Amino acid sequence: MHFQWYPGHMTKARRQMQEDIKVIDVVIELVDARMPYSSKNPDIDDLARNKSRIILLNKSDMADQEKTALWKNYYEKKGFFTALVNSKTGSGVKAVNDVIQKACREKLERDRKRGILNRPIRAMIVGIPNVGKSTFINSFAGKACTKTGNKPGVTKGKQWIKLNKNVELLDTPGILWPKFEDQAVGMRIAFIGSINDDILNPRELALKLIEFLLKEYPGALAGRYGMEERENAPDTLIEIAKKRACLLKGGEYDYDKAAGFVLDDFRNGRLGRITLEIPEMISGAETALDGKEQNRTEENPSEAVSEP
Ligand code: G4P
């Protein structure tokens, strides 16, 4: 399996974001707590240069708590303000207000010295597809109504959601495309479903996930499917197909169907709290606020083969 693409409409979305960011004080970036590195697009470090930065580890309900603590510490050391959230239930969402105030303290102080008082902080949400941007905005803005389902590249007049007297949120999230040259990163993005499944081989993808789970989370599959985990991924998939009675017309096992169960269960957190990467795995390749960021791949719109 080879992952490499950059849909044309993302170039337009990036340009729009560049425009929007000009009037923004703080960029709130959502990452998936199950893969806080791979779900973070390094472009944003460039786009949001000189802005206050917050990283929200969303979907923290599905991530391994110990590893989430490592990631929180990791990004804080890089100079980001961080918080753990579960946008689906709203847990941790309220506290984001305080984090915004902390992240903008210097700006507020500067404003005050220049005699600018009571100007609300302007915030923007960004993140790759499926990371939970719409869900977070709905939860964060509460009763303040939010339009969801905004498509990248669709330019409307800027609309602001007044969260309180101190903070205004741009109602359209900035959508970033996952970016990588490391195929392992592409694989993880596919595991969480941020890449259109149509262009992937689900069985191959599920086998990779099973291989990871057997090694890093032994017992997770056995717990879910009530079977015995085997030494390798293909044999384990056979056990899952048997247990779930995934059968084709001729009576043969339907491994694609079983693969679908595994991917779906992982994406919905039914295999338990699982995190796919830890900070040590990516040392040397990370992005940072210290000006040493490196791009993970060349941007190449001509390689566009699919969109989310
Ligand atoms: P996006 O705007 O960034 O593309 O993502 P969106 O909000 O549409 O969320 C993508 C999926 O992730 C949704 O599930 C949403 O419910 C789920 N989600 C968002 N935040 C969290 C979280 O903190 N925890 C968990 N467990 N799930 C979260 P869906 O299956 O597409 O729809 P549905 O289940 O809401 O019907």
pLDDT in tens, 157-182: 678 999 888 899 998 888 887 766 77
Ligand 1 closest atom vs CA 30 = 3
Residue nearest to atom 31 of ligand 1 (CA): 130
Does residue 133 have its Cβ closer than 6 Å to ligand 1?
Answer: yes
- Whether residue 61 has its Cβ less than 6 Å from ligand 1: yes
Angle, helices 202-216 vs 255-267, to 10°: value is 60
The distance from CA 76 to its chain's CA centroid, rounded to whole angstroms, is 17
Which of 64, 130, 136, 148 to probe ligand 1 with, by most ligand atoms within 8 A of CB?
Answer: 130
Distance of CA 276 to CAs 87, 170, 191, 281, Å? 20, 31, 9, 10
Q: Tell the CATH topology of 8-180.
A: Rossmann fold (3.40.50)
User: Phi and psi (nearest 5°) for 117?
Assistant: -115, 145
Phi-psi region of 272 (alpha: psi -120 to 50; beta: other; left: phi over 0): left
Angle, CA 130 vertex, CA 124 and CA 133 arms, to 5°: 25
Q: Per-residue b/e over 202-212, b at no fewer than 16 CB within 10 Å?
A: bbebbbbbbeb
User: Domain coordinates of the chain in residue numbers?
Assistant: 8-180, 183-267
pLDDT given for residue 285 in this prediction: 55
Q: Tell me the pLDDT tens digit for each residue of 36-90.
A: 999 998 889 989 998 999 999 999 999 999 999 999 999 999 999 999 999 999 9
Mean confidence (pLDDT) of the chain: 85
Quote the CA–CA distance of 95 and 220 in Å, as a whole number: 32
Say yes or no: CB of residue 91 within 6 Å of ligand 1.
no
Structure tokens belonging to residue 128: 């790759």
The pLDDT value given to residue 286: 54
Mutate which of 135, 148, 194 for ligand 1 pocket (most atoms within 8 A of beta carbon): 135
Give the per-residue pLDDT at 121: 95
> Is the CB of 254 within 6 Å of ligand 1?
no
Per-residue burial over 255-280, b if 16 or more Cβ lie within 10 Å, else e, is bebbbbbbbebbbeeebbbbbbbbbe
CATH class of 183-267: mainly alpha
Cβ–ligand 1 contact at 150 (below 6 Å): no
Tell me the pTM: 0.85
Ligand 1 contact, 87 CB (< 6 A): yes
Ligand 1 lined by 130 (C-beta under 6 Å): yes
Ligand 1: does its nearest atom lie under 6 Å from the Cβ of 138? Answer: no
Q: Determine whether the shortest distance from the Cβ of 59 to ligand 1 is under 6 A.
A: yes
Work out which ligand 1 atom sits closest to the CA atom of 62: 26
Query: Which of 14-28, 157-171, 205-219, 290-304 shows the lowest per-residue confidence on average (mean pLDDT)?
Result: 290-304
Predicted confidence at residue 150, as pLDDT, reads 43
